[in-house]
Amino acid sequence: DAPHKRVERKREVPIDPFIPEVLTESGHTTYSSKAHRDAVRKVVASQPGTTVVVNLPTGSGKSTVALAPAFLHAPGTSVFVVPTIALAIDQERRVREETGRTDECFAFTSDTPLDVRKGILADIFAGHKTVVFVAPEAATHSLAPALFKAARLGALKYFIVDESHLVDQWGTQFRPEYQALAGLRSELLKVQKEADPQGRTQLFRTVLMTATMGPGSADLLMKLFGAPAPVELAISNRLRPEPGYWVAESSG
């Protein structure tokens, strides 16, 4: 018989009490790890105008790192840039399930009906849209006027880029709009500052999320998204488990 192996139970990390009820009521009672908890805390506690780089392994709760602050406290819109329409729709489904807003639309894509897109734009103009999921192409074009209005009104909370390593890997040739996001962000910050020279409203925060952060990607993100405020890091790397294959000769 094989020797008995002791299996260590994963220690649960209780979720913080400040996490919005719309998430805790849907079953979020623990973090996936201490690194997950620390990343959420860092984004929530970041200073206005700050860029936070979140590098967590796949499946460790990166989306919650951005969604929890987006639904926390003050009203306003958080733009959540994702690489594909499928991911935008999947995130929309998740937000609907976790918030109970089953009739509200959060995905702004080319597949979204025109009347729904107009409704999302109107909600952003009115400051009623909490989060919108969008591809880089739409963020830098069709959605941009609404984002600039939100910035002028001080109603833009977070500028989130999921899979942010694609700014480097895809943004040079394949999808240049990924690198155009940096210019959009800079202009939005400029507009927000000019609209409120006395600084009565907080500048939006930038959150760059990825599970794949190489040196080249990190350097480019710092160059494009680092200014003008400080950059904070929430990084937890670990080796991904790989499947093992064993072949045995069959006797027939």
Task: Identify whether the C-beta of residue 197 lies closer than 8 Å to the C-beta of residue 40.
Answer: no
Give 234-243 pLDDT, tens digit per residue.
887 654 555 6
Share of the chain above pLDDT 90, in %: 47
Per-residue pLDDT at 225 exceeds 90: yes
Question: What burial class does residue 151 get, using C-beta atoms within 10 Å of its C-beta: 0-12 exposed, 13-18 middle, 19+ buried?
Answer: buried
Residue 10 lies in a domain: no
Domain containing residue 165: 34-235
Residue 192 binned pLDDT confidence (cut-offs 50, 70, 90): very high
How many domains would you assign to the chain?
Answer: 1
Q: How confident is the model at residue 66 (pLDDT cuts 50, 70, 90)?
A: confident
What SS3 state is found at 208? strand
pLDDT given at position 237: 64
Q: Give SS3 for 235.
A: strand
- In angstroms, what is the C-alpha Rg of the chain? 20
Count Cβ atoms below 10 Å from residue 114 Cβ, excluding itself: 7
CATH code at position 181: 3.40.50.300
Listing DSSP states for 93-119 in one string gives HHHHHHHS-TT---EESTTS-HHHHHH
Rounded to whole angstroms, how far apart are CA atoms 158 and 40? 13
Residue type, 171: G
Tell me whether residue 9 is in a domain: no
- Which residue type occupies 29? T
Position 21 in a domain = no
> Does residue 223 form part of some domain?
yes
Q: What is the maximum span of the chain, computed from C-alpha positions, in angstroms?
A: 82
pLDDT at 23: 64
Decide if 19 is inside a domain: no
